[in-house]
Amino acid sequence: MSIAKQEALELIRKMPDTATTSDILDEFYFKEQVERGLRDVVEGRVISHEELKGRITQWRQRTGR
């Protein structure tokens, strides 16, 4: 069995019995986004806190917030 399949099964096993298909998909999506972010850090694809604040300011101005 592949590692990905083992991790998926373990994630599902840890969820409550009342979990819906949507809940499971949400967990898979969240896990993938965290893993992608960690890969970005390892590979040096990061920005400074100041640059992020500047981007947020620009986004807010464009949306009128």
Digits of tens for pLDDT over the chain (65 positions)?
999 999 999 999 999 999 999 999 999 999 999 999 999 999 999 999 999 999 999 999 999 87
Nearby residues of 24 by Cβ (< 8 Å), 6 or more positions away = 11, 12, 15
For the chain, which residues make up each domain, given as ranges?
3-63
Give 5: exposed, middle or buried? Use CB within 10 Å, 0-12, 13-18, 19+.
exposed
pLDDT at 5: 95
